[in-house]
Homo-oligomer: A and B are copies of this chain.
């Protein structure tokens, strides 16, 4: 073939597609080969490349249209106030439908239906291979091992292979914005008030759940072995790994309904905080278990030294990622008030660089991004201009929304398009039982222990609700799809997929009846007024601790450790790291006067004046991003349904809010009319 120049212009948009789905694009990125002499053959290659590229665009377009359809249906549901099916459940259903069509509807007319040529080497697989074709060298990169079964798949199911993503896309493109958004929107009083319980559930609870599920599944596997249903190896560490990936809860559906119904703030904080934290725990736990595996000759049995090594790795990775995320979060306070665009861009870049920095240091990027988000919400957020707080929230909200719906659509699709499913009824049944038992061992004993120390007890109906809200979602899926090479992992993947479907549809859909059955009160009256125009509003807006009023509340509600931390944070960290809070000159002892003067910004003095003048009101209003009345409503609701033990200051607050609520109702009626016009 007389080819002179190799053009880099492979096909017009393969790189854009690459960005989304490296695995299946690289496969088909047959590069355009530029003509120098004549060449029928090379024209054919060009044509094939063009055709392949067109096919890729069509495939990606399918996903986009799937998302578009989901959004339109979500809108319809929100509009008609349908609550039994959440957007993520919907995305999965559409994904399933498209998966069925791709699998059974489209004839296997693949343009790439010849078995690729092979060549032999004696050495092991290398990352880069040179191919010598009549004196010209071509560079090839390793994609992976394929077994003989899959060589035929290359022929037959090119289309299905094409809609299969590289699993790393989930971990490195789709999860970080979701996790960051979760951390960034975590700023609220209820969260910090329940921090101890949340950490207990997330760390201890997830570890318990992991081991309970792991051991139960090991029993199931032994049973399968006896029943002769196991056709390949399934080790104890595999069971533990399954326990780790399936312990990451994701009650996004439940929380969306909590938002709409304005269910109890503490319960919301417990569930949300737990699900955010245990994602991080599950990642680190699963990689520790993987690291535990190849530690000796008898790899898959219990080994104390290897176990402690794993625990060490767990603690090392976790604390490293935590410190890294928190440090970057603290560093990124900006003084670019005047330029919201620059601020937003800088904020985005710093969050991303946290991810990369953690990866570069060998820690877990996703965990670092989570703590970066939490820290930024706590400190950096106060330094941003009002405009930038809106922009950053909205930017990450859109990214989060798209990524989440994409993952759930893809889950639906994967049930039919994934090539190596292993459906084992016994394993699946066992797993369903195991996750319930694991969840129960997490919630009930820990709640009992926590209640010994808590002033506000976690009541029985709250515990049942937490038990019920143990849905599995994006993180479990991402961890399961990350490695589907062995028999055990393929079975886990299939089972995880089914668990996600079941929990999201059944538990997600059953949230509203369950709430009323458990007598967990909601301010449904208010919520009907706010149902429209609520998607953009985050009801967990920061009801920021403000001034002395807050400190008195903290004293009552929190343990001494957190009281200590709060005082330190409020008096020293916030003034140094942000422009909010009291000036250091008033919180530091007088002997440190010069130092305090030096560290305090002029704005802090201004803030102090404002703090004295307006106290809470000022702070409460700065959090809302979308609709002013939205914030008022939520605050109102917090007071109406919060079941707080009224102190004097709280009663005053409540009174204030009641009057706001009245005000809101007049807003509310005005709000409803344009909706009716739409219908």
Which stretch, A60-68, A88-96, A255-263, touches the partner chain B? A60-68
Known: A117-B129, A130-B146. 10 other contacts (CB 8 A): A8-B166, A12-B168, A18-B19, A30-B127, A64-B349, A68-B349, A138-B146, A140-B140, A337-B674, A348-B398
Q: For the complex, what is the distance from the CA of A359 to the CA of B20, rounded to whole Å?
A: 16
Q: For the complex, what is the distance from the CA of A335 to the CA of B361, rounded to whole Å?
A: 47
Chain B: minimal CB distance from A383 (Å): 12
- Contact mask A562-595 → B, CB, 8 Å, 1/0? 0000000000000000000000000000000000
With contacts A27-B141, A345-B401 taken as known, whether A64 is within 8 angstroms of B353 at the C-beta atoms is yes
Chain B: minimal CB distance from A627 (Å): 8
Which residue of chain B has its CB nearest to the CB of A400?
A: B341
Q: For the complex, what is the distance from the CA of A656 to the CA of B481, rounded to whole Å?
A: 64
Is A173 located at the chain interface by the 8 A CB criterion?
Answer: yes
Is A402 located at the chain interface by the 8 A CB criterion?
Answer: yes
Q: Which residues of B contact A364 (CB under 8 A)?
A: 12
Q: Which residues of B contact A391 (CB under 8 A)?
A: 394, 398
Q: Which residues of B contact A293 (CB under 8 A)?
A: 35
Interface set, chain A 250-283, CB cutoff 8 A to B: none
Is A678 located at the chain interface by the 8 A CB criterion?
Answer: yes
- Contact mask A617-653 → B, CB, 8 Å, 1/0? 0000000001000000000000000000000000000
Q: Which residues of B contact A402 (CB under 8 A)?
A: 345, 348-349
Whether A143 pairs with B141 at a CB distance below 8 angstroms is: yes
A: which residues have CB within 8 A of B?
A: 1, 3-10, 12-20, 22, 26-31, 33-35, 38, 41, 43, 45, 50, 53-54, 57-58, 60-61, 64-65, 67-68, 71-72, 74-75, 78-79, 112, 116-134, 136-148, 151, 154, 166-169, 171-173, 176, 293-294, 297, 299, 335-342, 344-346, 348-350, 352-353, 355-357, 359-362, 364-365, 387, 391, 394-395, 397-398, 401-402, 481-486, 532-533, 535-536, 602-603, 626, 674-675, 677-678
Partner of A482, one of B8, B134, B143, B346: B8
Chain B: minimal CB distance from A123 (Å): 6
Q: Which residues of B contact A483 (CB under 8 A)?
A: 7-9, 34
Q: Which residues of B contact A34 (CB under 8 A)?
A: 483, 485-486
Q: Which residues of B contact A398 (CB under 8 A)?
A: 341, 344-345, 348, 391, 395
Q: Which residues of B contact A26 (CB under 8 A)?
A: 22, 26, 141
Chain B: minimal CB distance from A672 (Å): 11
With contacts A169-B15, A350-B68 taken as known, whether A116 is within 8 angstroms of B129 at the C-beta atoms is yes
Whether B486 pairs with A124 at a CB distance below 8 angstroms is: no
Whether A122 pairs with B131 at a CB distance below 8 angstroms is: no
Q: Which residues of B contact A136 (CB under 8 A)?
A: 125, 145
Number of copies: 2
Q: For the complex, what is the distance from the CA of A125 to the CA of B4, rounded to whole Å?
A: 13
Partner of A137, one of B65, B127, B151: B151
Which residue of chain B has its CB nearest to the CB of A45?
A: B124
Q: Which residues of B contact A134 (CB under 8 A)?
A: 122
Chain B: minimal CB distance from A156 (Å): 15
Whether A50 pairs with B131 at a CB distance below 8 angstroms is: no
Q: Which residues of B contact A60 (CB under 8 A)?
A: 356
Q: For the complex, what is the distance from the CA of A136 to the CA of B148, rounded to whole Å?
A: 8
Whether B365 pairs with A13 at a CB distance below 8 angstroms is: yes
Q: Which residues of B contact A536 (CB under 8 A)?
A: 339-341, 387
Chain B: minimal CB distance from A153 (Å): 11
Chain B: minimal CB distance from A385 (Å): 9
Q: Which residues of B contact A154 (CB under 8 A)?
A: 128
Which residue of chain B has its CB nearest to the CB of A358?
A: B57
Partner of A140, one of B16, B43, B143, B678: B143
Whether B130 pairs with A678 at a CB distance below 8 angstroms is: no
Partner of A133, one of B3, B125, B294: B125
Whether A12 pairs with B678 at a CB distance below 8 angstroms is: no
Q: For the complex, what is the distance from the CA of A73 to the CA of B643, rounded to whole Å?
A: 51
Q: Which residues of B contact A117 (CB under 8 A)?
A: 121, 123, 126, 129-130
Partner of A132, one of B120, B176, B339: B120
23 contacts between A and B (CB under 8 A): A6-B144, A6-B145, A7-B483, A8-B144, A8-B168, A12-B168, A13-B356, A14-B168, A15-B171, A19-B169, A22-B22, A29-B141, A35-B293, A35-B299, A117-B130, A129-B131, A136-B145, A139-B146, A140-B141, A338-B675, A344-B398, A345-B402, A394-B395
Q: Which residues of B contact A532 (CB under 8 A)?
A: 338
Q: For the complex, what is the distance from the CA of A137 to the CA of B136, rounded to whole Å?
A: 24
Partner of A131, one of B119, B139, B341: B119
Q: Which residues of B contact A45 (CB under 8 A)?
A: 124
